[in-house]
Amino acid sequence: QFGDWQLALAAYNWGEGNVARAIKRNQALRKPTDYESLTMPRETREYVPKLMAYKNIVQNPGAYNIVLPELENHPYFVAIDVTRDIDVDVAAQLAEMSLEDFRNLNPAFNKPVILAAADQQMLLPFARAELFQMNLASYTKPLSSWTALKVTKSETPEQLATRLALNPETIRDVNNIPRGMRIRAGSTVLIPKPPGKESDIPQYLADHGQLKLDRTAPAKPKASKPSQASANAKTTPKKATNSKTASTQQKSPSTNTTKSAKTGSNSGSGVNASVKTAP
């Protein structure tokens, strides 16, 4: 571009339009239009010489008493297939990486376990990928400490935890269940893997498992105590009209309680969330 490599590099740093306008200004003043003759920002003026210096060093480092490291011809990152369920922290440990660095490279793994059935890949630096494969071959502990459970009835995390002898906060945290919500029947939740269980989460749960939540119904209001007039009606004979009135007053609290309970049972609203770990 512009018939000159130096001007082409200047345009890469400064912009084509700026270089073209600088050339036109010099042409209008009948000045030369080469790189050295144009007026340009200091950054651009120094950019081209620095780039040319790097080129000369790489081409002939010995001329400048510089020793360049040997670089292998391979990608910097390697994608590794996940063939068994593996906890995120275990994967980071086998790659000899910090958990933070591993998550930065694999932000899609937002659950504590990476599912093999989901056909996922983890991204690792080339050198770490070799370490991962070597450490994996000699690893004898369980790779995953989580499994999936399909809930057969609507229940709160506390009820589910009591039934399975688990910590309710663990169920709530790993499945992102807000307080005041209950798990809808048919939902799939992640739970700690029972002792002795080594199988991976099955394909159908990895592909179709969903977590659906309902709001917990408010507690039923307590029935109000009978009024003094109702109590007297049971012990003191009165006229027929008065007895009928007392009977009506006695029934009204029961009617209100039933209506309120029905209203509470219909107040839930569905909330969907995916159990799968990563796109």
Q: What is the pLDDT of residue 254?
A: 41
96 has a pLDDT exceeding 60:
yes
Confidence band (pLDDT; 50, 70, 90) for 113? Answer: very high
Confidence band (pLDDT; 50, 70, 90) for 70? Answer: confident
Q: Do the beta carbons of residue 85 and residue 201 sit within 8 Å?
A: yes
Average the pLDDT over 37-50 and give the result: 95
Q: Do the beta carbons of residue 111 and residue 82 sit within 8 Å?
A: no
Give the global pTM. Answer: 0.56
- Angle CA 28–30–33, to nearest 5: 90
What is the domain partition of the chain in residue ranges?
5-64, 77-137, 146-219+268-274
Q: What is the pLDDT of residue 229?
A: 55
16 has a pLDDT exceeding 50:
yes
d(Cα 277, Cα 86) in Å, to the nearest integer? 12
pLDDT in tens, 154-193: 999 999 999 999 999 999 999 999 999 999 999 999 999 9
Express as a percent the part of the chain with pLDDT over 90. Answer: 69
Q: Which of 50-59, 62-71, 210-219, 270-279 has the lowest mean pLDDT?
A: 270-279
Q: What is the pLDDT of residue 74?
A: 84
Write the CB contacts of 244 (distance below 8 Å, at least 6 apart in sequence): none
Q: Do the beta carbons of residue 19 and residue 4 sit within 8 Å?
A: no
Q: Which of 12-16, 37-41, 208-212, 230-234 has the lowest mean pLDDT?
A: 230-234
Other beta carbons within 10 Å of 20: 14
3-state secondary structure the chain: CCCCHHHHHHHHHHCHHHHHHHHHHHHHCCCCCCHHHCCCCHHHHHHHHHHHHHHHHHHCHHHHCCCCCCCCCCCCEEEEECCCCEEHHHHHHHCCCCHHHHHHHCCCCCCCEECHHHCCEEEEEHHHHHHHHHHHHCCCCCCCCEEEEECCCCECHHHHHHHHCCCHHHHHHHCCCCCCEEECCCCEEEEECCCCCCCCCCHHHHHHCEEEEEECCCCCCCCCCCCHHHHHHHHCCCCHHHHHHHHHHHHHHHHHHHHHHHHHHCCCCCEEEECCCCC
Q: What is the pLDDT of residue 196?
A: 85
Q: Across all residues in the chain, what is the average pLDDT?
A: 83
pLDDT in tens, 239-261: 544 444 444 444 444 434 333 33
227 has a pLDDT exceeding 80:
no
Average the pLDDT over 127-134 and give the result: 95
Higher pLDDT, 223 or 212: 212
